[in-house]
Structure 1
Amino acid sequence: MGGIENKLLLLEKENSRNEIELCAFVGEYLVGGAGIEKVGSKDKVKHRAEAGISIAKAYWNKGIGRALMEACIECARQAGYLQLELEVVSTNVGAIALYKSVGFLEYGRNPRGFRSRSQGWQEIVLMRLELD
């Protein structure tokens, strides 16, 4: 995504009543981001949101990911979602441990869920957190 697309995404999320994009800074450096977005607007899925998070590797294990994830969970609750979902590469054991520690449960796996440019196919773990 280029600069203009990033700015438009942030503006769209800023004006949304049920989606959010959060940024984590250390000094002037952007070191992480997280967000929630709706799965869909139809009645059968409007109770669900997807969470995503990314932290620069140099800033792992410093509490930034936990702070962002807890903020996403709180924002999802305030937006009225009943279920928060995410996907994580199965080899990212640190992230999986974080998600489990805040209440997410695994509900499935997709062996070809992610295609890495450098590693090829990677399995993803599907996780969810009930908010009600």
Structure 2
Amino acid sequence: MVFKEKEFTLGEKSILLRSARTDEAQLLVDYLKDVCGETRFLLCDADEIEYTAESEEDFIEDKNSSEDSMLMLAFVDGEYAGNCSFQPIGTRRRAKHRADIGIALYQKYTGFGLGRLMLEQLLGKIKELGYEQAELTVVGGNDRAYRLYESLGFKECGRIPNANKYQDGTYADDIHMVKELNR
């Protein structure tokens, strides 16, 4: 699904939200490596990113041609800031009403409302498609993200203790959150 380009202003910053283009594949691969190196709150370490520009092009094409999932990029004052996406939890009838959300931003673009803006736009699309609930996972200790999700109506529905093990031997939980969209 293509997200039609939209422009916003947050404070003094000019925001552009839109779908990815295949010519941005290498930008997205580099971004994944950078953003995974900035924080412990994403799925993996930077050195574990093995995507290629070619595989990312396929991913972009799949998202843009999909009828039930989407990838949205954010640009702040013309610079790439991060992205968010959704896809169905599953294809079976019993799970087709559930959308899984992911979001990540460069750290320098957090804390001024960009994540909220992106998620509000994403949730609007999810609801428009008829999904009944949106789900996401936040890593324990990521208090700012947890509070953002709560403020958008997500509720904690479970935890997996020690789901993330770091190179220094410490652990963090996965916290599952859900937002009901039609109730």
Asked if Structure 1 and Structure 2 have the same fold, meaning a TM-score greater than 0.5 normalized by the shorter chain, the answer is yes
Q: Report SS of the residue matched to 1:31.
A: strand
Inter-partner Cα distance in structure 2 for 1:120 and 1:62 = 30
2:127 maps to what in 1? Answer: 77
What's the CA shift string for 1:62-108, capped at 9, x where partnerless?
21100111111111101111010000011000000100011000011
Inter-partner Cα distance in structure 2 for 1:17 and 1:131 = 19
Output the TM-score relative to the length of structure 2: 0.68
Identity across aligned pairs (percent)?
A: 30
Which structure has the greater CA radius of gyration? 2
More displaced, 35-44 or 108-117? 108-117
Q: 66, 70, 78: which one pairs with 1:16? A: 66
2:99 maps to what in 1? Answer: 49
Residues 1-132 of structure 1 aligned to structure 2 (within 5 Å): 1-117=51-167, 120-132=170-182
Q: Give the ranges of 4+ consecutive aligned residues of structure 1 lying more than 4 Å apart after TM superposition.
A: 117-120
Q: Is the contact between residue 18 and residue 79 of structure 1 (CA under 8 Å) also seen in structure 2?
A: yes
Inter-partner Cα distance in structure 1 for 2:129 and 2:110 = 28
What's the CA shift string for 1:94-132, capped at 9, x where partnerless?
000100011000011111323344564321111000011
More displaced, 118-127 or 38-47? 118-127
Q: Over aligned residue pairs, what C-alpha RMSD do you find?
A: 1.5
More strand per residue: 1
Cα deviation for residue 29 of structure 1 reads 2.4
Q: Report SS of the residue matched to 1:124.
A: strand
Output the TM-score relative to the length of structure 1: 0.92
Cα deviation for residue 24 of structure 1 reads 0.5
